């Protein structure tokens, strides 16, 4: 049976000091979602060079990969994507009524796992750029 409780207005970001773990999870999920949909439009725009010819596509992608800032942005994108995936899994389980009593801990686990995966991936993402 569903129950609800008054969490206050989360859209009022001015009261962020009062946010609980679940509210932070909500804010970070929205933020990472905005970044990912923004990136999807950018990604298709860059990949559209494939409609010009093969050489333009290869040169554009390899030219971008030579830029240090692009490599760091890719690490940021990985962090955002991994968090959105892990917290998304957590939300799917919550929707199914699984792990509701531990949703604070599962949010912290999402953060820690995201950090671990991102840190472990940094060498792969920065390989050959310096």
Give me the residues that bind another protein (CB under 8 A), please: 1-3, 11, 30, 33-34, 36-37, 40-41, 44, 47-48, 50-51, 54-55, 57-58, 61-62, 65-66, 74, 78, 81, 85, 88-89, 91-92, 94-97, 100, 121, 124-125, 127-129
Closer of 11 and 17 to another protein (Cβ): 11
Given a contact cutoff of 8 angstroms between Cβ atoms, the answer to whether 32 and 77 are in contact is no
Q: Are 122 and 75 in contact (CB under 8 A)?
A: yes
CB of 18 to another protein, least distance (A): 18
| Selection from 70, 82, 83, 73 nearest residue 129 by Cα | 70
Which is nearer to another protein, 37 or 69 (by Cβ)? Answer: 37
Distance of alpha carbon 72 from alpha carbon 118, whole angstroms: 11
Q: Which of 97, 112, 96, 92 is nearest to 21 (CA)?
A: 112
Q: How far is the CB of 100 from another protein (least distance, A)?
A: 5
Q: Least distance (Å) from another protein to the CB of residue 119?
A: 15
CB of 31 to another protein, least distance (A): 10
- What lies within 8 Å, CB to CB, of 75 at 6+ separation is 118, 121, 122, 125, 126
Between 17 and 42, CB nearer to another protein: 42
């Amino acid at each position: 049976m569903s129950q609800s409780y008054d969490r206050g207005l989360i859209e009022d970001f001015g009261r962020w000091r009062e946010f609980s773990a679940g509210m932070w999870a909500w804010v970070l999920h929205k933020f990472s979602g905005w970044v990912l949909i923004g990136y999807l439009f950018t990604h298709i725009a860059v990949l559209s060079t494939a409609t010009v010819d093969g050489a333009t596509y290869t040169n554009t992608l390899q030219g971008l990969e030579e830029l240090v800032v692009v490599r760091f942005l890719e690490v940021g994108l990985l962090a955002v994507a991994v968090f959105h995936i892990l917290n998304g899994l957590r939300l799917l389980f919550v929707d199914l009524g699984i792990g509701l009593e531990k949703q604070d801990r599962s949010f912290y686990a999402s953060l820690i796992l995201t950090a671990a995966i991102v840190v472990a991936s940094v060498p792969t993402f920065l390989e050959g750029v310096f």
